A and B are shown apart, each in its own frame.
Chain A
Amino acid sequence: MKDDGSTPYEAPSVEQIDTDGAPIHTSPGQVVS
């Protein structure tokens, strides 16, 4: 966060997530990446 509360610029990122067949959300609070 910058001082003014806005997010510093990062170039757009579009990333495919390989879940190896599992759902993306395998259990509460756990995200497969």
Chain B
Amino acid sequence: MLTRRREESFAWGRLRWRIGRRPARALTECPQRPIGAKLELTYACNLRCGFCYTDSPRRTLQRTPELSDDEWRGVVGETLELGIVEAVVTGGEPFLRRELTLELVEALATAGVGVTLNTNGWFVDEEIAARLGALRGVTAHVSVDGARAGLHDTSRGVPGSWRRAIEGIDHLLSAGVGVCTVHVVTPGNADAVGDFLEQMWALGVPWVRVTPVVVNGAAARGGNWKVSREDLRRTAAEFEERRGDAMRINVQAATAGTLSLQGREAPGSFLVRPNGDVRPDSLRPFSFGNAVRDGVESCWTALREGWDDERINRWAAGMKGPRDLPKADLVAYLDDEISIRGGSSGPPRRNGGGPGESGLTTLPGTNNDQVPGSRDAPVPEKTPPKPVDPAAELVEAEEKVLDLAGARRYRHAALRWSGSERQRFVRLANDGSYLRLNESGGVVMDALDGGTLADAASALRARYGIDAERARQDAVAATRDLQKRGVVMADAATGSFPAEPGTTDLPGLEPSG
């Protein structure tokens, strides 16, 4: 209880700063050139999450205008010239602007920028996966809110979205793209987080992030979002005790660490809204110009000079903790930004994202006449999934996941091995590290040299006469370990997963939805 109070207390965060216990990577002054950029390519989304921190369902309904493809190309070009090392490409749902998203991710990754791509996975097909898999340093953060369709589809407001997300993740993993699944936890799905972790492990996901709702945007309209971080950490620890470290789990800390340090910790990155307005990050609804009208460099200069502006400091100081976010006079993504210096603070100049230009879709009930920026603006209705038996649906979901994971083909990384049948020593050419495998580990390793996880299970059964379920479970575990250690990779992969999953947001690990 005390831990939670401290974690969610902005005063505690400020006290820790004053006594010198600062976050290791905290900046006390803005760097001359930005370290990272978050690019919100579109307001629009095909899902209808009630907690969406960018309030995308409302924006989709309103068809809020956004930058054209050419304008985005210009913004990314200037951003690269200015100098960044990491980028988050997000929306809305970025693949509603499919070609633009792929083109910009390719431009960033080719320049050596580490790219995190946030997506709900709906539109991720084999072609998208192959194009991303051909790049270095790209990870996909895919939203999945439960171990079965009923949980996820209720959370996301569109039936079929769990299936599309899982199939999208499988496409990505099969192409060698590192995937971090992001689970937004609400009181409606918190009890099933353990099942979710098991399922992601079986699917072959290397990273999972579990996060309570950050009460900005749509979530600030109301609703019960309270879940226990202690419970989530306990669930994660139990999973790691059971399954080891082949899948890394991050339970997101409270937002106190960032907002409590407004005026103290300087930003190292910036965020570009779909209309081009430039903000420090997702949490602070203050703009520092427009990337198209003023130029990216000019906006960064304004942010360097004004990140500790008294108006932002007063706004942040008025909150005691994350629970005050929806009570503030100004709520990120629910209200239009306040301009600190020359931002357009509201609707952009024209609609650059209409149908036919970038493939934007229109949800049923779209109303072009709505005025954006209102807390009371109408939002699309969710479509509830059909009632089902949860236990039967979970079994069905597990079978689907195992079928997808079982059919994925692997190959060996560059390596040599020696030893004996009962004890195998492997040296990985990539980093020179050594591994020791027991006999059955060697059986799985051999089966994955061009084979599938199902082939590995069959090989264990044939060699040892064990039952099918145990063979499958052990083959899953060994495959996860072999992939984690860099012994095997998806057959179509160009290399192993990156060492780190990247961040869903900049700076740090802030809102998701």
The answer to whether residues A10 and B440 also contact, given A16-B485, A24-B425, A24-B427 and a CB cut-off of 8 A, is yes
What is the bound-complex CA distance between A19 and B427, given in angstroms? 12
The answer to whether residues A12 and B478 also contact, given A7-B422, A24-B425 and a CB cut-off of 8 A, is yes
> Which residues between 456 and 501 of chain B lie within 8 Å of chain A, taking CB atoms?
460, 464-466, 474-475, 477-478, 481-482, 485, 487
Total interface residues on A, CB under 8 Å, equals 15
Total interface residues on B, CB under 8 Å, equals 26
The answer on a CB contact under 8 Å between A9 and B466 is yes
Interface string of A1-32 (1 = CB under 8 A from B): 00000110111111111010000100000010
- Smallest CB gap from B483: residue in A: A14
The answer on a CB contact under 8 Å between A9 and B434 is no
Which of B439, B475, B487 sits near A14, CB closer than 8 Å?
A: B487
Min CB gap A28→B, angstroms = 14
The answer on a CB contact under 8 Å between A14 and B425 is no
Q: Is B16 an interface residue (CB 8 A)?
A: no
The answer to whether residues A16 and B438 also contact, given A7-B422, A9-B464, A11-B477 and a CB cut-off of 8 A, is no
The A contact surface, by secondary structure, is loop
Q: Is B32 an interface residue (CB 8 A)?
A: no
- Smallest CB gap from A9: residue in B: B464
The answer on a CB contact under 8 Å between A13 and B441 is yes
What is the bound-complex CA distance between A13 and B440, given in angstroms? 7
- Smallest CB gap from A7: residue in B: B439
Min CB gap A21→B, angstroms = 10
Min CB gap B476→A, angstroms = 10
The answer to whether residues A10 and B438 also contact, given A16-B485, A24-B427 and a CB cut-off of 8 A, is yes
Q: Is B443 an interface residue (CB 8 A)?
A: yes
The answer on a CB contact under 8 Å between B434 and A14 is no
Which of B433, B474, B485 sits near A12, CB closer than 8 Å?
A: B474
> Which residues between 421 and 437 of chain B lie within 8 Å of chain A, taking CB atoms?
422, 425, 427, 433-437
12 contacts between A and B (CB under 8 A): A9-B440, A10-B440, A12-B440, A12-B443, A12-B460, A13-B437, A14-B435, A14-B485, A17-B425, A17-B433, A17-B434, A17-B436
Given contacts A13-B440, A14-B485, A16-B485, 18 further A-B contacts (CB under 8 A): A6-B464, A10-B440, A11-B474, A12-B437, A12-B438, A12-B441, A12-B444, A12-B474, A12-B475, A12-B481, A13-B438, A14-B482, A14-B487, A15-B436, A17-B434, A24-B425, A24-B434, A33-B436
Binding site for A on B (CB under 8 A): 422, 425, 427, 433-441, 443-444, 460, 464-466, 474-475, 477-478, 481-482, 485, 487
